[in-house]
Amino acid sequence: MMLASAVRNLSRRSFSTSKAVSAQQLTVRDALNAALDEEMERDEKVFLLGEEVAQYDGAYKVSRGLWKKYGDKRVIDTPITEMGFAGIAVGAAMAGLRPVCEFMTFNFSMQAIDQVINSAAKTFYMSAGTVNVPIVFRGPNGAAAGVAAQHSQCFGAWYSHCPGLKVVSPYDSEDAKGLLKAAIRDPDPVVVLENEMVYGVSYPVSDQVLDKNFVLPIGKAKVMRPGKHITIVTHSKSVETALQAANELAGKGIEAEVINLRSLRPLDSETIFKSVQKTHHLVTVEQGWPQSGIGSEICARIMEHETFFHLDAPIWRVTGVDVPMPYAKTLEAAALPQVPDVVTAVNKVLGVK
């Protein structure tokens, strides 16, 4: 009897059907690649252009195999001239195509910001709604590793400041696939702020995510971890930092609710309000600079809403340090939010010593 019982218990452990065990793994790179492939297959108006996207399969191999499948007309290598190829892409969108314009890094999008803002974002309004600009600007955003000040900046606050743009900031593979597909299908300009540091990271995904019809709504956040003591709102790679901090805090009896914004414009205020009204405490986490940042905007919206009266303590922002990104590895780490920074912020807000 004891042997039979042991075998049954072992069988139950060995053949677990929990979501965590049964979920398939997908890298962010492959999720983005699948999104591009599926949308190019679905709509012949979709095409990709940028530096090294075709014959080299992309600087980060996100466009791997697409040039061989779709050819020169739909996967286009460009010269190193962001203003030039961004302008071509905007013009193509105005003419009815659906370009996906890749910047090798969003730091280089500064060369093309006139096209992104003045040409793409404002045209629908200035044409009284007669000219849509269905374009996607995508590429890695924020800090990478060892590439210093001119290649490490977060542009979430920059682009989400501008009416006429939608701005998404995916974290994991589910975010990457669902949001990029939504961006490509959208009738208006969408900025997709990816993160180079997670391209090669595998995340569990469901069969639903792998389906060709999987699309995430732009403007809707996701509660990554439920909690009752404090809300942590974050986006992009900082979601990982927040989740790690939440795990550490749980060991001390503090249950943090972690919200992955996914979309920076439109910002899902309602999900934040609902959570803060439950937890009565809020910390925001981002890799961008503090002044006029995403955390600042969230603070302002809380202040201007009745949710402010549900707070039991001031909001605390955890951000990148207010300096250009240093090159030295130790200084780079010191310039970005780390798990201890989030834990310290939560403790201060909750009055825990």
Q: Among this protein's residues, is 82 annotated catalytic?
A: yes
Q: How far apart are CA 229 and CA 342, in angstroms?
A: 14
Residue type at 225?
Answer: R
Integer angstrom CA distances of residue 137 from 1, 194, 246, 267? 64, 10, 33, 19
Assign 217 to helix, strand or coil.
coil
Element (H, E) at 194: strand 190-194
Is beta strand 166-168 parallel, antiparallel or unpaired with respect to 24-27? unpaired
- Of 220, 162, 151, residue with least CA distance to 191: 162
Task: Return the structure tokens found at 229.
Answer: 């003591």
Q: Which of 39, 151, 194, 229 is catalytic?
A: 151
Q: Which residues contact 94 (CB under 8 A, 6 or more apart)?
A: 123, 131, 133
Rounded CA-CA distance 2/7 in Å is: 9
Angle made by CA atoms 226, 232, 234, in degrees to the nearest 5 = 110
For residue 103, the Cα-to-chain-centroid distance in whole angstroms is: 15
Give the count of beta carbons closer than 10 Å to the beta carbon of residue 30.
20
**In what helix (H) or strand (E) does residue 298 lie, and over which residues does it extend?**
helix 294-303
Q: Phi and psi (nearest 5°) for 134?
A: -80, 80
Could you say which of 38, 39, 51, 82 is catalytic?
A: 82
Instruction: Give the CA distances from residue 29 to residues 1, 197, 249, 258, in Å, rounded to whole numbers and listed in that order.
Output: 51, 10, 31, 24
Task: Please answer whether residues 221 and 261 qualify as being in contact, where contact means their C-beta atoms are separated by less than 8 angstroms.
Answer: yes
Query: CA-CA distances (angstroms) from residue 251 to 243, 244, 299?
Result: 13, 11, 28
Catalytic residues, by residue number, are 82, 151
